[in-house]
Amino acid sequence: MGLAPPPAGWLEQSQPPAPDVFYVWRVNWPAVELFMRCQSQWRSNQTVGESLVYEALLGMGGLYEVKNLPRVIEDVQVMEYTIIAERKG
């Protein structure tokens, strides 16, 4: 596409410091996996502000055959709302 490659080491510089050990309940793991697969899929507009791109959640959920996708997306929404609230301060 004619884009220049990113500078060396850009990924390491953009990563936050590693957190201490934390645990995820097994029941929540599908939501964490789906969120991680779609973590770069954010949309911003003047009406609602930031939100995840739900088409991406649906697409990745279907691609990876996530069981009980509606419930998993509801769990991802909890993560999404928490992130939005944290960003607003």
Per residue, the 3-state secondary structure of 56-82, as one string, reads HHHHHHHHCCCCCHHHHHHHHHHHHHH
Tell me, yes or no, whether 75 lies in a domain. yes
- Residue range(s) defining the domain that contains residue 75: 27-88
Contacts of 64 (CB under 8 A, 6+ apart): 33, 34, 37
| Residues paired with residue 49 on neighbouring β-strands, in sequence order | 45
The full length of the chain comes to: 89
Per-residue pLDDT of the chain (89 residues; tens, 9 = 90+): 556 666 666 556 666 667 787 789 999 999 999 999 999 999 998 877 889 999 999 999 999 999 999 999 999 999 999 998 888 87
Query: Residues 58, 50: contact at Cβ < 8 Å?
Result: no
Q: Which two tokens stand for residue 30?
A: 């599908």
Tell me, yes or no, whether 22 lies in a domain. no
Domain count of the chain? Answer: 1
